[in-house]
Each structure stands twice: as structure tokens, then as C-alpha cells.
Amino acid sequence: SNNTPKGIVIEKQGIFSSGGTVTAQGGVHAAGIGSGNASEWSSVTITGGTVEAIDPVRYICNRSSGKMGYEIARAAKNAGADVILISGNATAEPPTDIKFVKVKTALEMREAVWAEFDSADAVIMAAAVSDYRVKNVAAQKIKKTYATLSLELVKNPDILKDISSSRGNSDTLIVGFCAESENLLDNAIKKIQSKGCDFIIANDISRQDIGFNSDENEVYIIEKNLGIKKLEKNTKDKISEQILEEIFE
């Protein structure tokens, strides 16, 4: 199909339950788990939140658990992929058997993504990137000298947008996430159009039972042609398998 990078198909039927077999188009069997063969496809997953320094002891951060990205990386590995996981600050335990690149700031995250994205078949951008960073990071700990204090912030680069617009003619499939507290689908549609990625996975963060810091999620997958599919509430590992199946369909 059109979404298939380099002729790779992930079979819909039970690839994960059967131990993760990826089948190349034309029926040639590719590497499954533990087969010892080289991986047939590669993916880069980016997760966690960025950390932006204010002074040597304070920073701006967010509540990202990293779970969704970790589960996607695991699911991709189970489906035979060669996986790189780039992670900012995250409260969940990262997988230990996946190549792991730890980053702090949005600028560092961009560097790490930039180094890997072009050679990957799929890039899944699940990170909570700080939209802003402190313009002038104080070299010394800020004293409480004044009654009020303002921090001047400057915009961070939009990593998802930048990689989507610079992939040229490569087959790299790019998936973004979008976290919204209102008008979920409207905002998701606007976002896929402005970012230029192939898919957006839309998350409703106003709900306590799913998404941020939860083990479960319920998402909508929005395609570039604006097709929408709902993935019913499920554990993040199952949602991850379904997302991979959908994007490679």
C-alpha cells in the first residue's frame, strides 16, 4: 500500500500474538523475534518531556511519563524492527533491551532526532517537547531579590514539523501525537495539516482515566487524507500494536 515503506508489510493477523513476524511484500518471510536474522525495518521513537534550564538548579519540565513512547518502541521491536528510542525526562521505567538515547533539552532532542530520522522507515514522535525555553539561562542561582520576577521565553523548534518538511523524497513515515484538552478532532486535523506528517494520534488529555501518566489510552488516528479511526480504550501496549498495524496497513 501507499504507506508501506520500502515494501514492508506488517500482517494484520496476530503478528504480535504469534511472536512478531514481519512479512515482506511478495511473501518473503523476514526476521521474527529471536530468529537471529537482521531486522527488516527500522524505527525511531521519541518520548518523554524536555527539560529547559532556568538557572543551575531550576528548570521547566512537564509531567510526561514516557509510557506511550516506550510501549510503541517495544511493539516495534516485537514486530521485528531495529529500534532506537530517544527519550527526554520520563517517570516510567524505560525498556532495557532497546537502543536508548537520553536527551534533556528540546535542542538536544532535535539533534538526536536529526541524526537518525532519515534512515528510519518510521519515526514516531510521542515526546512532550517544551514549546519554549528560557532566553537567558542564569549562570548563578537566581536570588529572591525582587518582589516579582519575569522569565523571558523563546520558542523551541518544532521537531515534528521540521523533520516532516525535510524528508524530501525519502520513504520515511512520520507519526505525530497531539494532546488536546478541548476540540480534539478539530485541533488534530489542523495539526496534521500544519505539521505535514503522515499520521496524528490524537489524545484527549482532559480525561483522567487515559493518556498522561495512565497505563491506558484511547486515541483517534488521523491520516493525511483526513481519514479518522478510533482505537477503543485499551492498555498502552495494545494501543501501540494497533497504531503500528494501522500505519503500515
Strands 173-180 and 199-204 come out as parallel
Instruction: Kindly name the residue from 62, 156, 183, 234 that is annotated as catalytic.
Output: 62
Query: Which value, in Å, is the radius of gyration of the alpha carbons in the chain?
Result: 19
User: Pick from 15, 76, 103, 127: which binds ligand CTP (CB under 6 A)?
Assistant: 127
**Quick check: 31 and 8 in contact, CB under 8 A?**
no
Name the minimum Å distance from CB 158 to ligand CTP.
4
User: Given the complex with ligand CTP, which of 152 and 182 has the nearer CB atom?
Assistant: 182
Name the minimum Å distance from CB 130 to ligand CTP.
7
**Quick check: 175 and 224 in contact, CB under 8 A?**
no
Task: Build a one-symbol-per-residue string for 51-90: x at contacts with ligand CTP by CB under 6 A, - elsewhere.
Answer: ----------------------------------------
User: Pick from 117, 177, 199, 248: which binds ligand CTP (CB under 6 A)?
Assistant: 177
Residues near ligand CTP (CB under 6 A): 106, 125, 127, 129, 131, 156, 158-160, 176-179, 191
